[in-house]
């Protein structure tokens, strides 16, 4: 197999790794926020990918920056990340917004939206992923347990642009898919501790595939303005299994 086709295979594998990412944008509530606040967290960790066809496993450092504005009814956040796997650079940016109903109600509505952008480069191939996502659901608050449960459904039109540059010509292609997302989140906040667990399914309506993701945020605040955050994620797809662990300080303003 030539170097070109080996690199192209790596990039296509990375594309499978990142294709679920509209759901990564659901990182909406990792830190307690009884009042309005800005939250910033630089993150560092490791990402691991397992190819189910070949059994090959590869790990690489991962770097991220999480910024969020949170209030009892409105949350907006942005996550930027970078990793370098198999000589392929992966950049991503995920912006998300969430709107909740009456914060005093035990049962209320929820609306969410996000935009995901990824760029994967392994010369001579460059892949760009664009995904806007819309979600709707409800929130059930179990106040004696300091717990909120948020089931939802969503839709995302995913567009993948591929560019292959050679000394002789440049080949461009575009592929569009319709994705349906079905998920449930559970938020637990008590004093200086917080946890946010999510499980969701992403169904590709055009290619008849179904992927699953489990994600957990955990926070421990040392004071009103500083703490530590850890994020674990496991995603299972048709051809790969992906695990990510990130950790970093949290600053609340």
What pLDDT, in 10s, does the model give residues 11-21?
Answer: 333 333 333 33
Cβ distance 165 to 124 under 8 Å?
yes
Q: Cα Rg for the chain, rounded, in angstroms? A: 19
What pLDDT, in 10s, does the model give residues 36-51?
Answer: 899 999 999 998 878 7
Predicted confidence (pLDDT) at residue 176 exceeds the cutoff of 90:
yes
Domains and CATH numbers, the chain: 3-252 (2.40.128.130)
Q: Name beta bridge partners: 88.
A: 85
Q: Name beta bridge partners: 63.
A: 44, 82
Which stretch of DSSP H or E encloses residue 184? strand 170-190
What pLDDT, in 10s, does the model give residues 103-150?
Answer: 889 999 999 999 989 898 988 999 999 999 999 999 999 999 999 999
Predicted confidence (pLDDT) at residue 27 exceeds the cutoff of 50:
no
């Amino acid at each position: 197999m030539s170097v070109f086709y080996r690199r192209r295979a790596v990039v296509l594998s990375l594309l499978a790794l990142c294709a679920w990412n509209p759901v990564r944008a659901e990182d909406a509530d990792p830190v307690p926020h009884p009042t309005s606040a800005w939250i910033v967290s630089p993150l560092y960790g490791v990402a691991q990918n397992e190819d189910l066809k070949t059994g090959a496993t590869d790990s690489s450092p991962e770097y991220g920056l999480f910024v969020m504005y949170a209030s009892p009814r409105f949350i907006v956040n942005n996550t930027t990340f970078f990793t370098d796997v198999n000589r392929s650079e992966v950049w991503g940016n995920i912006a998300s917004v969430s709107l909740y109903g009456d914060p005093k109600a035990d049962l209320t509505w929820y609306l969410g939206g996000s935009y995901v952008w990824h760029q994967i480069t392994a010369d001579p191939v460059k892949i760009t992923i664009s995904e806007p996502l819309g979600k709707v659901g409800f929130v059930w608050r179990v106040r004696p347990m300091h717990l909120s449960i948020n089931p939802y459904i969503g839709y995302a039109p995913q567009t993948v642009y591929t560019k292959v540059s050679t000394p002789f010509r440049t080949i461009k292609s575009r592929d569009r898919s319709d994705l349906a997302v079905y998920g449930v989140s559970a938020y637990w906040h008590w004093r200086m501790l917080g946890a946010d667990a999510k499980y969701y399914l992403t169904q590709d309506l055009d290619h008849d595939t179904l992927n699953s993701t489990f994600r957990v945020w955990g926070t421990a605040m040392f004071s009103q303005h500083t703490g530590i955050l850890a994020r674990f994620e496991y995603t299972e797809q048709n051809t790969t299994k992906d695990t990510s662990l990130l950790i970093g300080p949290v600053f609340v303003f």
